[in-house]
């Protein structure tokens, strides 16, 4: 991962009496200096000056921030080594420190940047400083911005092909050229002309006459390291700030991603639940409509059966014949021909016949002769029975109308 992957980044350069801040933005035309601000301070409350310049440049915590400057006991040098992994390179440089510092380097921190070159002989820019200075820097970061991505010494961005560079805020008495420190008295008067061309080639700088690139050289050097594609460096060589001071953007992004996934799942579940609820309501409505139709069909069938039954009864009544008109007269005439010792037990009168059951105490009763006076009936069938030792006899008689007698 490289600094050049960031679309926007900020560089804050501090010194003993002032602080500068630049906000850079990468677009299709290149890296543009979006905003810049500076503030002087007396050293009593530098954190206030830090906050002021960050506010003036529009810095936000989502933007990577590189803190740049020189620490009180820091030392910068360039050495040569083989290309190694960041951890192995750090261990190798720790063996080199006692020779460079001429003292015990046990309480020193270091950061480095590997430059382009032959893998067997790689130039390495190294900056080392006491651990106590890092604690002071951490306290300053905590009081002002709370979090910062990296602390970068400005000269770590130097390349082998660069000309002399003089940063009064870092080293007021020396300038760096050809891999070594030189006295500021020997500084060429036109040393910045090549830097002016280099910086304008690397960045899109403001055309405002109040902006002097020489005054902002420390910020621009650090920004060149952050935005360059040809300077090969790794985060492992620049990780000197404690983890508590570095923003956990990846972890926050993972948390945000997890939250978005949960929200998407919840939204999907909510949509599914809504569809299920809607389908359940539609199903319940259809079931209720089906039950109402069943009830209506059952009621209609019941009414239809009742109507059919009434229709059959009415049809039966309508189809019935009018029957005998002179029933009473004929019964009276029939009664008149019966002798006193004959009693009618049962009588059933239909349209086609009359069935009679009579009881008689006469020993010999001539029924055909008895019924001869009747003009409207003829005898069709007769049965007479008398039980043993019984003085009465049972007579079952069937009469038909006289005109139907064949």
- Domain locations along the chain: 3-247, 327-404
pLDDT for 301 equals 95
| pLDDT at residue 404 is higher than 60 | no
**CA-based R_g, the chain, Å:** 62
Task: Specify the higher pLDDT residue, 388 or 122.
Answer: 122
| pLDDT at residue 232 is higher than 60 | no
The helix (run of H) or strand (run of E) holding residue 193 is helix 191-202
The strand order across the sheet containing 342-349 reads: 342-349, 354-360, 393-401, 377-386
Burial of residue 139, with CB atoms counted within 10 A of its CB: 0-12 exposed, 13-18 middle, 19 or more buried: exposed
Q: For 186-190, what is the mean pLDDT?
A: 90
Least confident of 46-50, 51-55, 119-123, 343-347: 119-123
Least confident of 68-77, 282-291, 346-355: 346-355
pLDDT for 324 equals 64
**Confidence label for 170 from pLDDT (cuts 50, 70 and 90):** confident
| pLDDT at residue 385 is higher than 50 | yes
Would you say the pTM of this structure is higher than 0.75?
no
Say which DSSP state 115 is in. Answer: P
At the top level of CATH, which class does the domain 327-404 belong to? alpha beta
DSSP string spanning 126-140? EEEEEHHHHHHHHHH
Q: For 57-66, what is the mean pLDDT?
A: 88
Q: CA 166, 169, 172, 176: dihedral to nearest 10 degrees?
A: -30
At the top level of CATH, which class does the domain 3-247 belong to? alpha beta
Say which DSSP state 165 is in. Answer: B
- H-assigned helices in 34-179: 46-56, 86-101, 131-144
Instruction: Please count the other Cβ atoms lying within 10 Å of the Cβ belonging to residue 4.
Output: 16
Between CA 399 and CA 401 the distance in angstroms is 7
Burial of residue 365, with CB atoms counted within 10 A of its CB: 0-12 exposed, 13-18 middle, 19 or more buried: middle
**316 half-sphere exposure, CB direction, 13 A CA radius:** 5
Contact criterion met (CB below 8 Å) for 358 and 399: no
| pLDDT at residue 66 is higher than 70 | yes
**Confidence label for 323 from pLDDT (cuts 50, 70 and 90):** low
Average pLDDT value over all residues in the chain:
85
| pLDDT at residue 231 is higher than 50 | no
Tens-place pLDDT, residues 291-321: 999 999 999 999 999 999 999 999 988 887 6
For 68, 80, 174, 206, the CA distances from 22, given in Å and listed in that order, are 11, 32, 25, 12
Q: For 3-18, what is the mean pLDDT?
A: 81
Contacts for 224 with CB less than 8 Å, ≥ 6 apart: 157, 199, 202, 203, 231
Contacts for 79 with CB less than 8 Å, ≥ 6 apart: 93, 96, 100, 123, 124, 126
For a pLDDT cut of 90, what percent of the chain falls above it? 34
For a pLDDT cut of 70, what percent of the chain falls above it? 91
pLDDT for 253 equals 75
pLDDT for 322 equals 64
Task: Pick the closest to residue 149 from 276, 61, 279, 79 (CA basis).
Answer: 61
Between CA 28 and CA 68 the distance in angstroms is 27
Adjacent-strand bridge partners of 78: 125
Contacts for 120 with CB less than 8 Å, ≥ 6 apart: 82, 83
Query: 3-state DSSP helix/strand/coil percent for the chain, to nearest 5?
Result: 40, 25, 30
| pLDDT at residue 138 is higher than 80 | yes
Between CA 17 and CA 4 the distance in angstroms is 31
| pLDDT at residue 268 is higher than 60 | yes
């Amino acid at each position: 991962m490289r600094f050049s992957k960031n679309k926007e980044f900020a560089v804050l350069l501090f010194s003993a009496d002032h602080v500068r801040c630049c906000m850079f933005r990468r677009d299709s035309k290149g890296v543009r200096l979006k905003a810049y601000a500076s503030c002087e301070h007396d050293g009593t409350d530098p954190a206030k000056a830090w906050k002021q310049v960050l506010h003036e440049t529009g810095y936000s915590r989502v933007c990577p921030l590189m803190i740049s400057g020189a620490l009180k006991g820091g030392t910068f040098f360039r050495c040569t080594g083989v290309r190694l992994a960041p951890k192995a390179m750090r261990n190798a440089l720790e063996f080199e420190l006692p020779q460079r510092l001429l003292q015990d380097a046990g309480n020193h921190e270091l950061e480095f940047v590997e430059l382009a070159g032959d893998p067997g002989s790689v130039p390495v820019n190294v900056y080392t400083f006491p651990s106590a200075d890092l604690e002071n820097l951490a306290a300053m970061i905590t009081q002002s911005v709370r979090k910062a991505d990296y602390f970068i010494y400005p000269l770590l961005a130097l390349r082998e092909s660069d000309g002399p560079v003089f940063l009064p805020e870092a080293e007021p008495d020396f300038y760096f050229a050809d891999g070594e420190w030189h006295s500021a008295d020997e500084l060429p008067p036109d040393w910045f002309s090549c830097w002016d061309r280099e910086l304008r080639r690397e960045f899109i700088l403001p055309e405002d006459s109040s902006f002097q690139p020489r005054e902002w050289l420390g910020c621009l050097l650090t920004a060149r390291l952050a935005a360059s594609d040809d300077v090969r460096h790794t985060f492992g060589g620049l990780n000197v700030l404690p983890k508590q001071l570095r923003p956990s953007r990846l972890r926050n992004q993972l948390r945000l991603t997890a939250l978005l996934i949960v929200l998407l799942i919840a939204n999907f579940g909510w949509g599914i639940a809504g569809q299920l609820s809607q389908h359940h309501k539609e199903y319940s409505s259809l079931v209720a409509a089906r039950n109402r139709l069943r009830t209506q069909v059952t009621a209609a069938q019941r009414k239809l059966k009742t109507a059919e039954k009434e229709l059959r009864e009415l049809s039966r009544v309508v189809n019935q014949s009018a029957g005998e008109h002179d029933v009473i007269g004929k019964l009276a005439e029939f009664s008149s021909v019966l002798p006193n010792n004959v009693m009618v037990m049962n009588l059933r009168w239909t349209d086609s016949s009359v069935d009679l059951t009579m009881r008689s105490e006469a020993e010999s009763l001539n029924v055909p002769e008895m019924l001869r006076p009747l003009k409207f009936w003829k005898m069709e069938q007769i049965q007479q029975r008398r039980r043993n030792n019984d003085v009465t006899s049972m007579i079952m008689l069937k009469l038909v109308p006289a005109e139907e007698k064949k």
